[in-house]
Structure 1
Amino acid sequence: MGGITTGTGLFSGIDSAGLISQLMAIEARPKLLVQSRIVELQREQAAYLDINSALLALSTAASAFDTLDIFKSAAATSSNPDVLTASAGTTASPGSYNMFVHRLVSTQQSLSRGFADKDTTAVGATSFTFEGGGGRLDSETKLSELNGGEGISRGEFRVTDRSGASAMIDISAAVTVNDVLDAINSASGIDVTASVRDGAIMLEDSSGGGGMLAVTDVYGSRVAKDLGIEKQILFGGGALIGDQLHFISENTALSALNDGNGINIRDDASDLVITDLNGTQVGIDLGRITHTEQDAEGEDITVVDQNKAVTVGDLLTIANDKLAASGSTARLRINDDRTGFVVEDSSGGGGEIIVSNGASNRTTATDLGIQTAGNGAGVGTLSGRRVLSEINSSLTSNLLGGKGLTQTKFNITDRNGTLAAIEVDADVLDGSVSELIANINEKIAAAAPTSTVTARLNSAGNGIEFVDAGSGTGNLIITGGAADELGLATDPAGVARSTHTANLQSKWLSRSTRLDSLNAGNGIGTGSFRITTADGHSDVVNISSDIKTIDDLLVHLNSRPGQYTARVNGNGDGIEIVDDTGASGTLKIEDVSGSVARKLNIAGEAQDVGGSIAINGSFEKTVTFAAGATLEDVRDAINEANVGVAATIVNDGGGVSPYRLSLAADDSGSAGRIIIDSGNFNLGLTSLSRGEDAIVFFGSSDPANAITLTSSTNTLDDVIQGVTIDLKGTSDEAVELNVSRDNAAIEEAIEKFVTAFNSVLSKIEQYDKYDAEKEVRGVLLGDSTVNNIKRALYRVVQGEAEGVDGPYQRLFQVGVRIGDGAKLEFDSDRFRDALENNFENVEALFAANKLESTGGQEEIFPGVFVQVNEDVYSQLGVAQQINQLVKSFTNSIDGTLTVKGKTLDSQIQLSQDRIGQLDTKLDAKRARLELQFLQMEQAIASLQTQSQALSGLGAF
């Protein structure tokens, strides 16, 4: 007899497990039916999700006609892609534009003198400074700034020297005064040198001839006249000095004054106060003034009473109107030299003219150069300082961080021992740096004709340098009050070198400086930073896009709890945060979000220095080198300091000193220029590239008649609305840029719409069909929901647009119709004809989407209101109707498919709950059967035991 297997009774030999499994399988038939139903429901669910995805794709394709302004798509085509290319957006206007690319942008790069090795010998430098943003004492005056902001005509003029030789000077592509000077100085056939002097162009003849030095216009132009040099100078008449070109007029932008530092103006409060000789005090607000009124519907509206002053003309009009309206006898005007302002009072009153800044740290009167210190002017005229510099120069009033100069004396001893004790003219202290340098040299020549020392702009462009060109071997000694003030004084014993210079710290950052101009035009962005003062107080400052200027920033910072003060620093090249708590801890500033603090150079920590705790956000950064630093050490220190330049070592392969330090600016164009100052260490920098802006002449094939455009990158974004222009090269000929409607993009969008529509139909067909050959039934065969969706789509796509005027009211009229297989087809030829015939009508047919109302309350009976949530459209194109229809299917809250999906989810959950209930019953049934079989086995075992006992009794 075989062994007993698991599930077989030990005593009965019955396969109870098998019997139980068979019985349970019969009991589980209802569960299998429910499980099959769940699988069917899940298949339906997957089908609906697939259709829903196709509908969402259709919604995207349909809404694109409106949201992406497909019918406003434009294409830009260049006649010479090697010179420029362009891309057009939906806001671009069709047109043809001529552009002459004169120059591409370049990046500043300088190369040092040679060094014998790069990694062994100490260079000998202790520190270099790097400053981006400003600080140079010279400038490049643009032609557009001349003649009071009127600019000049460009073209040609003739210069004839005293020998009778003449040359045509072509400045058609000139942008700056330097371009004009270069054109004259490089002209062949004449011996004339052009320079600037006293705000004018000066021509000096070196030909040796005895005729006239003459400049004349040609071809009926007025180029020379606009330049102020249309003159004839007889023999013996000296140089030809033109008319003043750089002066203030009513057209001059206020932002151009004070070397571009502009004028600090705020809105809705007095910027300066003028008191006349009779004691009448008038506050003058140069900013925007508004008040609030209610319109006919009771809504608040802002009414502008006065726009912010932008030009000198605006300034004079606002100020003098306010003075007159207030009964003041004072008036503001441009001075006779046209370099600043004058306040006049002819009333004969016995008081003083007093001009002061407005409250809350305004600097307007100071910026205008008319602020009075202490007592005012007791006469009828208050003359202000100069606020517009000479051509290609900067104001002395901006030196030393805006403190200007007060001292006039220098004692200059050259290396031969010749002393020149000079005193510069007082008027140059309120002039331009170029005038100061010229005056110093004139005074040296007059005081000590044999002196070999001259003054000039240093190689960094940020200071004055004294140069001894003689062969003396003594020390160069510079002393005196002016030398001390400018930081140019040497030790009494002097210096054993032929040059001596100092950074004069010309102010280039003011309260009116725009934040988006900082960091080479990259701005500071938005974000927040935390200021923790020395006493442990912490304050998080949020900087939004509404803060646009340094003044906005300082006002915002100083409006915080009085734990610190924010101000422009002493050198006028950044802001500083000063701890006001009096505690002895640490002032700390750190970015919380964004990088505003880092970009303002104020992220960091500071302790007490000389009784003050302050973080200085100067844009002038100093890199210090360790003693014995090699050229490689210098390179590495510069790169680690992140000062706006990249340093590399170049081996030119020649001579005994082949290693040179190359310094290239990180940012391109003039905005990316960096002042590199090696102090009195001879780095011997040679400029390989100055960092020039791209120059494009726009609007004409002739640069002389075109508008001059400049950019710090080779991309022009705002020249033509909606068009981005990429400059690729230069050309001697104009490039034509054509911007036209992009019909191909429109047709592509319609193709996508048709494809998406047919995709929905295909999905519905896939699930709502019967395969007779395979006898397979679609998951959604006969489903009313998908059939209703299909019918609705057909109805709308063949229906009329709402509220659209014109001959085209249905899509089939423009080539979009139901074709073979009941699928949507696109006839591009018919569409193009319709587009050509009535573009606006075709656009509206697809894209019209004008909302009339968004629902609200509707009165159905007097005093009885109901909420109406339905949007009402006065115009709705067919594609937008499709979009609205699809949204009614796919809306995540109450869309048809969403509701259907929820119903299926509910049915699946109910089925799963039913399975759980059945499983409970089946488990109980199994347990009962197993117990019954167990009891049977126990009974059999008991009987067998009794039987055996009886058999044993029978044996006795």
Structure 2
Amino acid sequence: MSGISSGVGLATGLNINEIVDAIIGVQKNALVKLSSRAQAFEATEGGIKTLEANLLTLKTAVQKLNQESTFETLKATSSDTQQFSVAANSTATAATYQLQGLQTATNHQVISNGFPDTDTTPIGTATTITISNGGELNQSRLLEELNNGAGVQRGSIRITDRDGQTEIVDLSKTLSIDDVVNQINQSATSVVASIQNDHLVISDTSSGSGTLKISEVSGGKTAADLGILKSVVGPSFDGDSVYRITEEFKLSQINDGNGITTVSGLDDFQILASDGSTFDVNLDTAQSVGDVVDLINNHASNGGNITAAVSSNGQLTLTDNTGGAGSFTVSALNGSLAARELDIETTGTGGVITGTLSGGLNSVLLRNLNGGIQSGGPVLNAGSVYIEDGAGGNATIDFSSAKTLDEVIDLINGNGSIQIEASLNQAGTGISIKDTSAASGTSIEIQDVSGNLASTLKIDTLLADNKHTVDSGSLDLRYVNQNTSLETYGKNGTEIPSGSVRIIDRDGTSFVVDLSDPETTKTIGDVLTKINDAAGTAGAQINARLNDTGDGFIVESTGGSSFDVKIEEVSGGSVAASLGILGSGTTGITSRQTTEISIEATDTLADIAEKFNASGVASATIIDDGTAFNSSRLSITSSRSGAGGELILESDYDFGFSTSVEAKDALIRIGSNPQTSFLLTSSTNSFDDAITGLEIDLLSVGDAPSTINVARDTSGIKTTIKSFVNSYNSFVDATDSLTGFDPETNQRGVLNGNSLIFNITSRLEGLLTKKLSVSNNSIKSLSELGIVFNSSGKLQLKESTLDQKLADDPTAITEFFQQEDHGFAVVMDEVITSMTDPFTGTLKAQTDSLQASALSLNTRVAELNEILEARRQRLIEQFTLQETLVNQLNSQQTALNRLNASSDK
């Protein structure tokens, strides 16, 4: 059978494809017209979607004009950008401040003695270096704590020594009483300041015979507030008392900042009057010293028998008014330490009990040494001590009245029978006793006669010990207590994360302690309570308490012997490691704020530096000072900035560490007048909590205050208005493109002649030029803000007009855009929404109609295509059949011709 694969019939020679296409093409004209109409609908729909996209962009810009934050956002600026970097957040308020940077925060740095080389010569002695950031016995008070909390008006004082030499000393930058003493002692006069208990002592070291005088400068009251506004003929004078505990003091501020330890839900102490009457006191609700006084005086069972008060010298005083013949005593109940920490756990004398609540201006209470009475260490009992100097001079000194370390030192130094000098040791964590008799070949002796003061202070020594100087080493001042915050307990002052720990006692009993609730886990005391409660519930032989060295706590075994005590993390947490209790121990595990570095006799300077770097609390480098001998030195830098990062380094080996960079907090003054301003500190150079809503970074010390201005961010408002103008102009560009006509190409925009665009642009233009009914407002139209139409139908912004309005009345601009129901942004947002709403908008109705029409036409086109294709197939089949018939006829004709040819022969 003959084929037509080439489109041309072999039998007929006809181009069948062309013939079929021609026949179908005539019938396809109607389909092309339908398809063109569908494409037109789709193009129109695409144009409307483009229009809608531009309207939505404009809507976003309009909505920004209706946001409160657009006009209420504040911006902070500094007049001295070299001194401060400032930023305002959402909680800031418009105001102007005067700030001056007085000092930037520093990291403590110390340098050792020189060593022969870096990595060859070993130090030759095994030792341990302890590193801590607390435990110093000189606890200087802040000036704001003085004068019953009224503080000190900062300014300058004039000092005149007995030789007539005068100098003005600037105390406007001093933060603590120690700062005051240091500034006075650095003056060029012969005047020396020192601290004694609750006041300053001013002494003259010159040989003059004139008047020793301290006076005010420029009408200030700094000297008076410091208690040293005096003039005397003698060589010294005692200042007035400037520090004492009052009823307003929080309990967390007394007892060297350790507060008091109560027993929740139980009575803390019992008061026994001399007439035999008693009552028990519960301090659960007490927050201040005044609360303690009130709980005693107002106790239902007191009835006026006992009067509690804070005396004029700051002591807690209990007076027995019963006049009985018995003893007047206060005794602890239920294991509470509160009475002892208030210093009233005793028997009264003459019907009075007095408790010392503070170490004074810069000393510490004896009861807080050796870990304090909250630890398991020995209780200090101050009695009599025998002291003999190198020359044989001796005295037995009664220390029973001493409550503070300074009082112990003063009693030793004030005894004329011995040539002994007592002072704080070089590290500031202990006491040093030095023989000043200049006797050769002899030593000093210090022994307890009664009590245990010498042994507890670790200064007891015999003549046979052959010592001319006795250094107690660290006296383990309690500075971590029940109230210590977990926010700063971690290494280098970091916060302890939340989580749980698993503790296993020596018998293998395991229990989990949940420390994940931030509301109930805020302090070390909370941690101890939760451990002990969980241990009790589990029946485990574990007890948690403050440690014996004053710098942390211990989780210890109370029984069992099979295993070590073990503490583990739970669910991949890190709370145990952060608390310093991760691991195991035979009798327990101790958490300390102190880091110990073990030094071997074979260690070189490089080895020691490596161990410091591995500690995580300090970094070490080796420097060469350039000298001919022993030029290699260790330079140790604290990892923690600010005063809290001061490194207290102690070791039996004399490394000769000396401070090269002091540990200092950043210090700023708020206010331009030192007499009325106040100072703020930060361990970093950031003061984000100094002024509400302001993030302040100190960049450098300033010679003068910087003006910090917090005002409405007009640049942000301008940016938002410009964005609105640009969005509208983009909309105009889009409409021009959609409705335009190019005469050169004879091309029209897809929405050319469409009434929809005309209606939309007319509504928007009308609103943009309309004077709105914004009540009680000076601005009624966009043109008053400098927003007007140009000749091309676009908006333009006259920035000078807007700037003037922003400067004159920014509130009126806010009202114009945002007034309820009438504001421009409110109304325009409603108009655009009516056009673009995805359910009810004008554009939605148009696109739905166009989509329906296009779909209907495309459906009909598809149907017609199927019909025409079927017709094409029929025609091809018919032509194919025709070819077959013609071919058959041709074959028959050929056969006949052959027959005819044969018959002719």
For residue 735 of structure 1, report the CA deviation from its aligned partner: 4.0
Q: 1:301 maps to what in 2?
A: none
Decide whether the 8 Å contact of 2:20 with 2:875 is kept in 1.
Answer: no
Sequence identity (%): 26
CA distance in 1, matches of 2:863, 2:701: 83
Q: For 1:368 and 1:818, locate their aligned partners in 2 and report how far apart those are by CA, in whole Å.
A: 80
Q: 1:240 aligns with which of 214, 237, 240?
A: 237
1:503 alignment partner, SS class: coil
Which residues of 2 match residues 477-516 of structure 1 at below 5 A?
Answer: 481-482=452-453, 484-486=455-457, 500-516=471-487
- On the 8 A contact 2:297/2:306 being kept in 1, the answer is no
Task: Give the one of 682, 692, 713 matched to 1:711.
Answer: 682
CA distance in 1, matches of 2:489, 2:114: 34
Is the Cα contact below 8 Å between 2:443 and 2:466 reproduced in 1?
yes
Match of 1:332 among 304, 308, 331: 308
Among 836, 841, 851, the residue aligned to 2:812? 841
Q: Given residue 198 of structure 1, which amino acid in structure 2 is its aligned partner?
A: N
| Counterpart pick for 2:428 among 461, 467, 486 | 461
Which one-letter code corresponds to 1:815 in the other structure? G
Q: Name the residue aligned to 1:209.
A: 208
Map 1:63-142 to 2 at 5 A.
63-65=63-65, 67=67, 69-88=69-88, 92-123=92-123, 124-132=125-133, 134-142=134-142
Hey, what's the Cα distance between the residues in 1 that align with 2:442 and 2:854?
Answer: 103
Q: Which amino acid in the other structure matches residue 361 of structure 2?
A: I
CA distance in 2, matches of 1:904, 1:364: 86
Name which of structure 1's ranges 679-688 and 617-626 shifts more when overlaid on structure 2.
617-626
Question: Is 1:607 matched with 2:608?
Answer: no
Question: Is the aligned partner of 1:390 residue 2:360?
Answer: yes
Alpha-carbon RMSD across the aligned residues, in angstroms, is 5.6
5 Å matches for 1:263-282?
Answer: 277=273, 278-281=277-280
Give the 3-state SS of the residue equivalent to 2:370 in structure 1. helix
- Aligned residue identity for 2:155: G
Residues 382 and 650 of structure 1, relative CA distance in 2, 3 Å threshold: same
CA contact (8 A) 2:489 2:496 kept: no
Write the letter of the residue equivalent to 2:360.
Answer: E
CA contact (8 A) 1:804 1:877 kept: no
Amino acid at match of 1:503: S
Q: State the 1:684 CA deviation.
A: 1.0
Cα displacement (A) at 1:364: 5.9
Q: Who is 2:153 aligned against?
A: 153
Q: In the TM superposition, what are the counterparts of 1:484-633 in structure 2 within 5 Å?
A: 484-486=455-457, 500-518=471-489, 523-524=494-495, 527-531=498-502, 533=504, 535=509, 541-544=515-518, 548-551=522-525, 562-563=537-538, 568-575=546-553, 584=563, 587-590=566-569, 599-602=578-581, 604=582, 606-610=583-587, 612=588, 614=589, 616-633=590-607
**Deviation digits for residues 303-324 of structure 1, max 9, x if unmatched?**
xxxxxx5x655x3685468537
Q: Is the CA contact 1:800–1:878 (under 8 Å) kept in the aligned structure 2?
A: no
TM-aligned CA distance change 1:548 to 1:806, over 3 Å: farther
Aligned residues: 878
The SS at the match of 1:180 is helix
Contact 1:173–1:704 (CA under 8 A) maintained in structure 2: no
Equivalent residue in structure 2 for 1:342, among 317, 338, 349: 317
Measured after TM superposition, the shift of residue 207 of structure 1 is: 1.9
Any idea what the Cα deviations from partners look like across 1:756-790, whole Å, max 9, x if unmatched? Answer: 33334434544455555434454566778877765
2:717 equivalent to 1:743: no
Structure 1: tracts of 5 or more residues without a match: 288-308, 849-873
Mapped partners of 1:943, 1:478: distance in 2: 147
Aligned equivalents of 1:474 and 1:12: distance in 2? 145
What is the distance in 2 between the residues matched to 1:178 and 1:765?
77
CA contact (8 A) 1:280 1:327 kept: no
Among residues 629, 651, 656, which one is paired with 1:679 in the alignment?
Answer: 651
* Paired residue type of 1:131: S
1:311-364 deviation digits (Å, cap 9, x = unpaired): 655x368546853798564443213531x322334245779665768x9x9876
In structure 1, what is the Cα distance between the partners aligned to 2:796 and 2:671? 44
User: In 2 relative to 1, CA 140–62 (structure 1 residues): closer, same or farther, beyond 3 Å?
Assistant: farther
Q: Equivalences for 1:788-937 in 2 at 5 Å? A: 793-794=764-765, 804-835=775-806, 838-848=809-819, 877-883=823-829
The one-letter code of the counterpart of 1:426 is S
Q: Which protein has the larger Cα radius of gyration, Structure 1 or Structure 2?
A: 2
Match of 2:660 among 657, 668, 688: 688
Shift of 1:803: 7.3
SS of the residue 2:675 aligns to: helix
CA distance in 1, matches of 2:846, 2:552: 64
Letter in 1 for 2:208: G
Tell me by how many angstroms 1:242 deviates: 1.8
Quick check: 1:161–1:205 contact (8 Å CA) kept in 2?
A: yes
Q: Indicate how the Cα distance of structure 1 residues 931 and 5 shifts in structure 2: closer, same or farther if over 3 A, else same.
A: closer
Shift of 1:685: 1.0
Aligned-pair distance for 1:543? 4.1
1:226 lines up with 2:197 in the alignment: no
Q: Per the alignment, do residues 221 and 45 of structure 1 end up closer, same or farther by CA in structure 2, a change over 3 Å counting?
A: same
Q: SS of the counterpart of 1:137?
A: coil
CA drift of 1:137 comes to 1.5
- Greater shift after overlay, 587-596 or 155-164? 587-596
The structure-2 alpha-carbon separation of the partners of 1:281 and 1:213, relative to structure 1 and needing over 3 Å to count, comes to same
Q: TM-score, normalised by structure 1?
A: 0.74
Aligned to 2:625: 652
Q: Aligned partners of 1:801, 1:525: CA distance in 2, in Å?
A: 58
Cα pair distance change 1:890/1:422, threshold 3 Å: farther
Shift of 1:554: 5.4
Task: Find the aligned partners of 1:68 and 1:760 in 2 and give their Cα distance.
Answer: 25
Q: Which amino acid counterpart does residue 215 of structure 1 have in structure 2?
A: I
Map 1:324-473 onto structure 2 (within 5 A): 329-338=305-314, 340-348=315-323, 354=330, 368-370=342-344, 372=345, 380-384=351-355, 386-403=356-373, 405-408=379-382, 425-428=399-402, 430-431=403-404, 433-440=405-412, 446=417, 449=419, 455-465=422-432
When residues 41 and 673 of structure 1 are mapped into structure 2, their CA distance, relative to the original with a 3 A threshold, is farther
Q: In 2, are the aligned partners of 1:265 and 1:286 still within 8 Å (CA)?
A: no
Contact 1:271 1:286 in 2 (8 A): no
Tell me what 1:297 maps to: none
Alpha-carbon shift at residue 687 of structure 1 (Å):
0.6
CA contact 1:407–1:482 (8 Å) conserved in 2: yes
Report deviation, 1:166. Answer: 4.2
Q: Describe the superposition over 1:134-165 as per-residue Cα deviations: whole angstroms up to 9, x where unpaired.
A: 32211332222222222223334444434444
Shift of 1:119: 1.2
Contact between 2:385 and 2:398, CA under 8 Å: does it hold in 1?
no
1:203 shift after superposition: 2.3
Q: Which whole-Å deviations, capped at 9, do the CAs of 1:585-641 have from their partners, x for residues lacking one?
A: 774444868865554445x3x22412x4x4x43222223345522222221222122
CA distance in 2, matches of 1:125, 1:847: 77
Q: Determine if contact 1:58/1:883 at 8 Å carries over to the other structure.
A: no
| Post-superposition CA distance 1:245-266 (Å, at most 9, x none) | 2211345454432333346799
| CA distance, structure 2, for counterparts of residue 932 and residue 535 of structure 1 | 99
Residue 730 of structure 1 pairs with residue 701 of structure 2: yes
Distance 1:330 1:490 in 2: 45
Q: Which of 299, 311, 318 is 1:323 aligned to?
A: 299
SS at match of 2:633: strand
Aligned to 1:662: 635
Corresponding residue for 1:257?
A: 254
Q: After superposition, what is the alpha-carbon deviation per residue over 1:774-828, rounded to whole angstroms, capped at 9, x for unaligned?
A: 3445456677887776566556656677875323344344333455444333333
| Alignment partners' CA distance in 2, 1:484 and 1:243 | 35
Match of 2:611 among 604, 623, 637: 637
SS of equivalent residue, structure 2 residue 369:
helix
User: In structure 2, do the counterparts of structure 1 residues 500 and 825 end up closer, same or farther at CA, with 3 Å as the change threshold?
Assistant: same
Equivalent position SS for 2:245: coil
Query: Conserved in 2, the CA contact under 8 Å of 1:20 and 1:926?
Result: no
1:756 aligns with 2:751: no
